[in-house]
Amino acid sequence: MSLPRIAIDAMGGDEGVRVMVEGAAIARHRHDRCSFLLVGDETQIKAALDKHPNLRSASEVLHAPDTIGGDEKPSQALRRAKTTSMGMAIDAVKTGTVGAAVSGGNTGALMAIAKLALRTMPGIDRPALAALLPTLGDNDLVMLDLGANTECDARNLVEFAVMGAAYSRVATGRTEPRVRLLNIGTEEIKGTDALQAAAAVLRHAEETLSLSFDGYAEADSLGSGNFDVVVSDGFSGNVALKAVEGTAKFVADLLRRSFSSSLRSKFGFLISRPATELLRTHLDPNNHNGAVFLGLNGIVVKSHGGASAAGVANAVAVTARLLEEDVTNRIKADLDAIGMDDLRLSATAAVRA
């Protein structure tokens, strides 16, 4: 049985149509249940499709006369959304024409347009941007928020924990994901009032929430594999993510430079190549591309703007899995079961205390 169609903002990303279409073609080759609505400049998309007949047979093209720039303010993007490739892709989710949308475009604009068009789920004040990060353990780490909300209160952090746990159950199969709050230390007295209030609510609601709250996590433990979900405000989460990505690139570049520094080093590289290739694959952000906006009445996935075609294909694979697992309705069911109104009241009381 085929999946609902996936809308691709073909104009999004640093390289636009070529990479987005090639990425969709790779995804189609790997997952023949996928079909697509390619949104953007019709002439450019059809020219790109000539190189990918397998994708062309599983795609429809929707012409969009405008695009949203990478430096465009969300307020400006909202005013032009109806004629842009990003806005039209999200509108297709709203109308039910497709099951999900993928874009590599402006994150702020994508968040603003998606939130206005799809609205948040009942019980959720703000959606959050979540992604999977590799770890040394058997599990990937769900990290949120990664930039959708620069300032968050305790209620928002509790909501993120609920949504992150639901996503982790889909991604890792754990019935009670281990959740931590990102903080500057693991001691209970550390952190802002919002963090301490959110922790107080989560400690007293573990059974209701179907998660295991493990307290605080410092940024240097994100890759340990000792927990499944880490929750943060969008400012801290985005800074931590960029630091992790920068460190991974630094390590890869340092190894490359070291192995090319002398004849002996080059010989050592040949001997250790299987291990270095494994490291390169593990650290390559393209292999973990695809962040999802959780908390909306529909699935919207953000591909990294600089992602390669393989990275775009991975973002599409994340989208397909979310559709297969019906993650939106699973989160709704979790929210109904735990009673978010009661949790918000608890978080408010904890802040006042």
113 shares its domain with 138: no
Domain count, the chain: 2
Residues 79 and 214 in one domain: no
Residues 110, 129 within the same domain: no
Q: What range does the domain containing 67 cover?
A: 1-118
Separation of alpha carbons 152 and 125, rounded Å: 10
HEC sequence for 197-218:
HHHHHHHCCHHHHCCEEEEEEC
Name, in order, each residue with C-beta under 8 angstroms of 226's C-beta and a sequence gap of 6 or more. Answer: 137, 178, 214
Phi-psi region at 103: left, alpha or beta (left = phi > 0; alpha = psi -120 to 50) = beta
Domain boundary among 118, 143, 160: 118
Among the three residues 85, 118, 151, which one is the final residue of a domain in this structure? 118
pLDDT at 229: 95
CATH, residue 58: 3.40.718.10
Answer for the pair 347, 198: CB distance below 8 angstroms, yes or no. yes
Helices 17-30 and 42-49 meet at what angle, rounded to 10?
50
Indicate whether 186 and 335 sit together in one domain: yes
Tell me: do 282 and 171 sit in the same domain: yes
Domain identity same for 268 and 353: yes
- Neighbouring CB atoms inside 10 A of 147's CB total 21
| 139 plus 154 within the same structural domain | yes
Domain shared by 74 and 18, yes or no: yes
CB atoms within 10 A of CB 224: 12
Shared-domain flag, residues 334 and 206: yes
- DSSP states of 94-111: HHTSSSEEEE-S-HHHHH
Domain boundary (79, 103, 118) is at 118
Do 178 and 208 sit in the same domain of this protein? yes
Q: Which amino acid is at 295?
A: G
Q: Looking at residue 271, what is its pLDDT?
A: 57
Q: Kind and range of the H or E element at 156?
A: helix 154-172
pLDDT (0 to 100) of residue 36:
94
Whether residue 352 sits in one domain with residue 238? yes
Q: Can you tell me the distance from the alpha carbon of 90 to that of 68, in angstroms, rounded to the nearest whole number?
A: 13
pLDDT tens, the chain, 353 aa long: 567 899 999 998 778 899 999 999 999 988 888 899 999 999 999 999 999 988 988 999 999 999 998 888 888 888 998 999 999 999 999 999 999 999 998 888 999 999 999 999 887 888 999 988 888 888 888 999 888 888 889 989 998 998 999 888 887 788 889 999 999 988 888 888 899 989 988 887 766 777 889 899 998 888 888 999 999 998 998 888 888 777 777 766 776 776 666 666 665 555 555 545 555 555 566 666 788 999 999 999 998 888 888 889 989 988 998 888 888 887 887 777 666 555 555 555 555 55
In a domain? residue 301 = no
Angle at the Cα of 7 (from 3 to 53), degrees rounded to 5?
80
Asked whether residue 65 is assigned to any structural domain, the reply reads yes
